């Protein structure tokens, strides 16, 4: 059984707002020396793939990244937790790709890799917060999809997943091949790699593709092919002022807080 | 030469109305409100799409009361329970009949999965998780406003027309309900595809629940990583009980296994807007703030004075929560008795 986990290498979403800046002309986040990480929801997807591999024989996991050269770090991380293979579609610096473009590139690559049984994506990436690529990719590959899953097993060649929705959990079944997008749960926090495996991961080969290799033309992804156009990117206005409740010790602070909440008729 | 008058063809904004437990969700009315706000500048009418089982047509008058002028109803026993493949099939049919210029979905679990698939099928531009829509002055161009980088920045974008857009819950005002409003009902009769395979619903496991629901709560007490453990989380539950409040959490507390995912408040959890939100041991990651910043009053209790949560809060107590919560609970009890 072949699983492809689609991943994105992004500006660390944990970066505090106080350190976050924008380059207005480029309409981009200022990168500076900030860390880039594997998108957290992709970590959840990768962990679910690894757990399936532990339970089932003959599972092959391919980690796939579309990104600039430095995105290789996320692939090394995946190899470190024992993904079997790593594939890097190298994005030219400054090459902007919207969700459609990304889905198109990933689809071309997955078709080049060959028959795949299960495609897993994080539910959204913590930079553009759009949550579109997974579903667009399913359409591009003409596959069924299930979004926001947090549990997965294979029963008699069929996929059984749990999908978190408002008010409960749906248990769904699907034939293979299928695409799923993954949401966070206690059960899918990515494991920590063993030091030895991390060392080995740095010597493992990474299969590289350019857009040209995949027969995707840059003009497909730029202006005439783009479905979204970014007009502006700005920092939200912070006009909130927090009143820090002062007092000698906890008791006084509690009293002061309750007095204020009462005065404002909140309690 | 043929002159194509796009304006004449694309004269509607369509809203897909999600349903839960046999009712149109409140968010559906918000989306109708969002569409109504554009009617004047776009010279459009507002159409609602209602897809579901045999009885789905009974919601028609309610949608009209919230501002739908045309309601496309597709009622069929095979359309319930919800299956994306079926709903997409019907939506595509309605789209081809109506040729709307905007197709709006709510960014809930169904809307988030239907919208991109639908956009792909009809070759539409797509934008997701919008918190505001505006029309560029002097044009009929719809500008989409959405938070990015977990809410640390706001992007304004334009999607290729026709546009498919998902709207974040609780960001748009529904119209005041007016039962005298009327709408034209358009029954949609579509041959449904034979889907013997594909994704099938096996079971729906309802959330086990005691106490106040997050979405309906007027007060929420929420705990984060700073709480320190599953047992310690009881302090949050006790304070919530005293306040008749719902219990929420940050993503960190879910990932640590202290609370189930249904407790998660934030961009990918529940979007809430209570009168009072008490954030305990929550640092205030942007993606959490995105789910609760609409609260009327936010109180933050955190021992780290630099925690970003204080930037969003109206009142803050800089102290270890363990020193505050027991006393707070006792005093609230006295206050409310």
CATH of the domain at A179: 3.40.50.620
CB pairs below 8 Å between A and B: how many?
Answer: 253
A23 and A116 housed in the same domain: yes
* Cβ–Cβ under 8 Å, residues B40 and B128: no
Domain interval for residue A260: 237-267
- In degrees, rounded to 5, the angle at the alpha carbon of residue B171 between the alpha carbons of residues B305 and B312 is 10
% chain A with pLDDT above 70: 99
pLDDT at residue A174, rounded to an integer: 95
pLDDT at residue B8, rounded to an integer: 47
**Residue A155 included in any domain:** yes
In tens, the pLDDT along B279-298 reads 999 999 988 998 999 899 99
The answer to whether A145 contacts B205, with C-beta atoms less than 8 Å apart, is no
Q: What separation in angstroms does the CA of A265 have from each of A165, A258, A261, B52, B296?
A: 35, 10, 6, 43, 12
A260 and A142 housed in the same domain: no
Of the candidates A164, A228, A255, the beta carbon closest to that of B157 is on A228
pLDDT at residue A178, rounded to an integer: 97
**Residue A230 included in any domain:** no
Give the total number of structural domains in chain A: 2
Q: Which fold does the domain B214-336 belong to in CATH?
A: Rossmann fold (3.40.50)
A137 and A242 housed in the same domain: no
Of the candidates B296, B311, B324, the beta carbon closest to that of A240 is on B311
A128 and A241 housed in the same domain: no
**Partners of A230 in the beta sheet?**
B157
A202 and A243 housed in the same domain: no
Q: Quote the tokens at residue B170.
A: 């609780």
* Cβ–Cβ under 8 Å, residues A64 and A46: no
| Residue to substitute from A135, A138, A152, interface B, most B β-carbons within 10 A | A135
Element (H, E) at B195: none
A209 and A179 housed in the same domain: yes
CA of B315 to nearest chain A CA: how many angstroms apart? 5
* Cβ–Cβ under 8 Å, residues B199 and B104: no
Residues of B in contact with A238 (CB under 8 A): 311
Residues of A in contact with B85 (CB under 8 A): 144
Q: Using CA coordinates, name the residue in chain A closest to B160.
A: A227
For the cut 90, the answer to whether the pLDDT of residue A95 exceeds it is: no
A245 and A214 housed in the same domain: no
A71 and A130 housed in the same domain: yes
**Residue A12 included in any domain:** yes
pTM (2 d.p.): 0.93
CA of A193 to nearest chain B CA: how many angstroms apart? 18
**Residue A64 included in any domain:** yes
pLDDT at residue B208, rounded to an integer: 80
Write the DSSP string, B231-283: TTTHHHHHHHHHTT-EEEE-HHHHHTTSS-GGGBBSTTSB----SEEEEES--
In tens, the pLDDT along A84-94 reads 999 999 998 77
A241 and A193 housed in the same domain: no
For the cut 90, the answer to whether the pLDDT of residue B62 exceeds it is: yes
Residues of A in contact with B251 (CB under 8 A): 184
Q: Is A218 on the interface with B (CB under 8 A)?
A: no
A100 and A151 housed in the same domain: yes
- Nearest Cα to B271, choosing from B108, B127, B60? B108
Domain made up of B8-187: CATH architecture: 3-Layer(aba) Sandwich (3.40)
Segment B24-29 long-range contacts (CB within 8 Å, at least 24 positions apart)? B24/B50, B24/B59, B24/B62, B24/B63, B25/A166, B25/B106, B25/B108, B26/B174, B27/B106, B27/B108, B27/B167, B27/B169, B27/B170, B28/B63, B28/B66, B28/B106, B29/B66, B29/B174, B29/B175, B29/B177
The ipTM of this complex is 0.93
In tens, the pLDDT along A213-231 reads 999 988 777 655 678 889 9
Average pLDDT over residues A14-37: 92
Domain with CATH 3.40.50.1220 in chain B: 214-336
Q: Using CA coordinates, name the residue in chain A closest to B277.
A: A266
pLDDT at residue A227, rounded to an integer: 80
A17 and A76 housed in the same domain: yes
B168-201 burial: b if 16+ Cβ within 10 Å, else e: bbbbbebbeeeeeeebebeebebeeeeeeeebbe
A166 and A259 housed in the same domain: no
Terminal Cα distance for chain B, rounded: 79
Confidence of residue B308 (pLDDT cuts 50, 70, 90): very high
CA B319 centroid distance within chain: 34
| Residue to substitute from A30, A142, A148, A254, interface B, most B β-carbons within 10 A | A254
């Amino acid at each position: 059984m072949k699983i492809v986990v689609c991943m994105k290498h992004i500006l660390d979403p944990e970066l505090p707002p106080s350190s976050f800046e924008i380059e207005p002309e480029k309409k981009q986040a200022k990168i500076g020396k900030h860390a880039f990480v594997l998108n957290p929801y992709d970590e959840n997807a990768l962990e679910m793939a690894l757990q399936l591999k532990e339970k089932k024989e003959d599972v092959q996991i391919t980690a796939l990244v579309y990104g600039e050269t430095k995105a290789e770090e996320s692939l090394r991380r995946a190899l470190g937790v024992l993904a079997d293979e790593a594939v890097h579609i190298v994005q030219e610096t400054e090459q902007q790709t919207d969700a459609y473009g990304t889905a198109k590139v990933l689809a071309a690559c997955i078709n080049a890799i060959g028959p795949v049984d299960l495609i897993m994506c994080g539910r959204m990436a913590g930079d553009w917060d759009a949550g579109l690529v997974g579903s667009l990719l399913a359409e591009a590959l003409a596959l069924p999809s299930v979004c926001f899953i947090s549990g997965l097993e294979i029963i008699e060649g069929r996929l059984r997943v749990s999908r978190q929705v408002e008010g409960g959990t749906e248990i769904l079944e699907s034939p293979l091949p299928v695409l799923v997008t993954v949401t966070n749960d206690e059960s899918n926090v990515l494991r920590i790699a063993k030091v030895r495996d991390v060392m080995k991961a740095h010597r493992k080969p990474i299969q590289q593709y350019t857009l040209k290799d995949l027969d995707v033309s840059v003009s497909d992804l730029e202006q005439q092919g783009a479905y979204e156009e970014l007009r502006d990117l700005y920092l939200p206005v912070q006009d909130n002022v927090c009143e820090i409740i002062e007092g000698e010790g906890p008791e006084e602070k509690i009293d002061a807080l309750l007095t204020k909440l009462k005065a404002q008729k909140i309690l | 030469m043929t002159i194509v008058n796009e304006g004449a063809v694309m004269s509607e904004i369509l809203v897909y109305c999600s349903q839960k437990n046999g009712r149109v969700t409140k968010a559906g009315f918000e989306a109708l409100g969002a569409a109504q706000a554009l009617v004047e500048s776009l010279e459009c009418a507002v159409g609602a799409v209602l897809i579901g089982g045999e009885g789905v047509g009974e919601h028609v008058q309610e949608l009209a009361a919230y501002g739908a002028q045309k309601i496309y109803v597709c009622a069929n026993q095979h359309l319930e329970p919800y299956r994306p493949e079926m709903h997409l099939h019907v939506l595509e049919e309605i789209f081809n009949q109506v040729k709307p210029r905007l197709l709006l979905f709510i960014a809930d679990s169904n809307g988030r999965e239907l919208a991109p698939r639908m956009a792909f099928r009809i070759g539409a531009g797509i934008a997701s998780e919008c918190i505001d829509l505006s029309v560029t002055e002097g044009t009929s161009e719809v500008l989409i406003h959405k938070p990015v980088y977990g809410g640390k920045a706001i992007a304004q974008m334009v999607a290729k027309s026709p546009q498919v857009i998902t709207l974040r819950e609780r960001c748009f005002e529904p119209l005041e309900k007016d039962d005298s409003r009327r709408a034209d009902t358009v029954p949609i009769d579509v041959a449904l595809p034979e889907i013997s395979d594909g994704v099938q619903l096996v079971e729906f496991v309802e959330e086990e629940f005691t106490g106040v629901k997050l979405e309906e709560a007027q007060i929420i007490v929420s705990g984060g990583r700073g709480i320190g453990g599953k047992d310690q989380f009881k302090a949050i539950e006790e304070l919530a009980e005293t306040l008749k409040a719902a219990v929420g959490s940050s993503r960190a507390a879910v990932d640590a296994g202290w609370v189930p995912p249904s407790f998660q408040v934030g961009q990918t959890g529940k979007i809430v807007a209570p009168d009072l939100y008490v954030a305990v041991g929550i640092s205030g990651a942007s993606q959490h703030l995105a789910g609760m910043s609409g609260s009327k009053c936010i109180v933050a209790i955190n021992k780290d004075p630099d925690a970003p949560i204080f930037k969003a809060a109206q009142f803050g107590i800089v102290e270890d929560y363990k020193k505050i919560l027991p006393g707070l609970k006792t005093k609230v009890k006295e206050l409310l008795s």
